[in-house]
């Protein structure tokens, strides 16, 4: 299952026509203790590069952008009760939402793991 990264520090796992989205370990370390995650509703449409979720620490609220366009199939119910999962397991249990990919061509131009690591190192 290929994993891509954006320069806004989201990751996206592609599985056939569907994808899972979350924020990277680098992103959670910059945000500090996550206290709340606002997720998109099932059935809503998200557009590449536009607001899809909000992640909040005590003193900051950051928009999370959709890496690609699609329809939201499911949001991670575990984050309601335990937003700290984003800190402890950002790239696994702390996933944000799953979506049905509208246009696979949008995946072009996203980074792979090596490119993303180089990108973070340059920051």
Partner 1 sequence: MSTPNASGWKPGTPAKDDHGMDGPPTVTGNRALMLEEPLIFEIGTSQTTGVDLPDVPSSTSSRLGSFTRADEIGLPGLSEPEAIRHYTRLSRQNYAIDLGLFPLGSCTMKHNPRLNEKVARMPGFADVHPLQPVDTVRGALEVINELAVWLIGLTGMDGVAMSPKAGAHGELCGILCIRAALEARGDAREVILVPESAHGTNPATAAFAGYRVENIPATGEGRVDLEALKSRLGPDVAAVMITNPNTCGLFERDMKAISDAVHAAGAFVYCDGANFNAIVGKVRPGDLGVDAMHINLHKTFSTPHGGGGPGSGPVVLSEALCPYGPLPFTARTKDGVVHLVEEENAEAFDHKHAFGRMTAFHGQMGMFTRALAYILSHGADGLKQVAEDAVLNANYVLRSCDDLLEAPFGPSGPCMHEALFSDAGFAEDTTTLDLAKALIDEGYHPMTMYFPLVVHGAMLVEPTETESKASLDRFIMALRSTAERAKAGDPTLKTAPHYAPRRRLDETQAARKPVLAFDGPCAPAGTPQLSEQGGS
Partner 2 sequence: MRYLPLTDADRSAMLAKIGAPNIDALFVDVPEEARLSGPIEGLPLHASEMAVEKHMRQLSKKNLAAADAAFFLGAGAYRHHVPASVDHIIQRGEFLTAYTPYQPEIAQGTLQMLFEFQSQVARLYGCAVANASMYDGSTACWEAVAMAARVTKKKRVVLSGALHPHYAEVVRTMAKFTEDEIAGALPALQSTPDNAGLIARIDDQTSCVVVQYPDILGRIPDLGEIAEAAHAKGALLIAVNTEPVALGAIKSPGELGADIVVGEGQSIGVGLQFGGPYLGLFAVRDPKHVRQMPGRLCGETVDAEGRRGFVLTLSTREQHIRREKATSNICTNSGLCALAFSVHMTLLGEQGLRQLAAENHRLACLAADRLSAIPGVELLNESFFNEFTIMIGRDAREVVKKLTEQNVLAGVSLGRLYPAHDALHEGLVVAVTETTSEDDIDTLVAALKGELA
- List contacts with partner 2 (CB under 8 A): 36, 38, 56-61
Nearer to partner 1, 72 or 85 (CB): 85
Q: What is the DSSP letter of 80?
A: H
Phi, psi of 40 (to 5 degrees): -70, 155
Binding flag, residue 26, partner 1 (CB under 8 A)? no
65-94 residues near partner 1, rule: CB under 8 A? 83-84
What is the separation of C-alpha 96 from the centre of its chain, rounded to a whole number of angstroms? Answer: 6
- Distance CA(33)–CA(57), nearest Å, equals 6
The CB-of-61 to partner 2 minimum distance in angstroms stands at 4
Cβ within 8 Å of residue 7, ≥6 positions away: 111, 119
Give the Cβ contact number of residue 6 at 10 Å: 22
Binding flag, residue 35, partner 1 (CB under 8 A)? yes
Q: Using CB under 8 A, which of the segments 16-24, 29-37, 43-51, 104-112 binds partner 1?
A: 29-37
Residues that bind partner 1 (CB under 8 A): 33, 35-36, 56, 58, 83-84
């Amino acid at each position: 299952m290929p994993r891509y990264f954006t320069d806004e520090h989201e990751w996206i796992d592609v599985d056939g026509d569907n994808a899972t989205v979350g924020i990277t370990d680098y992103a959670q370390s910059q945000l500090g203790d996550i206290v709340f995650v606002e997720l998109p509703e099932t059935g809503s449409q998200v557009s590449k590069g536009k607001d899809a979720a909000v992640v909040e620490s005590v003193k900051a609220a950051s928009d999370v952008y959709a890496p690609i366009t699609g329809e939201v199939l499911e949001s991670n119910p575990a984050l309601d009760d335990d937003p700290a999962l984003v800190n402890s397991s950002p790239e696994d249990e702390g996933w944000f939402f799953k979506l049905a990919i509208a246009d696979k061509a949008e995946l072009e131009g996203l980074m792979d793991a090596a490119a993303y690591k180089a990108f973070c190192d340059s920051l």
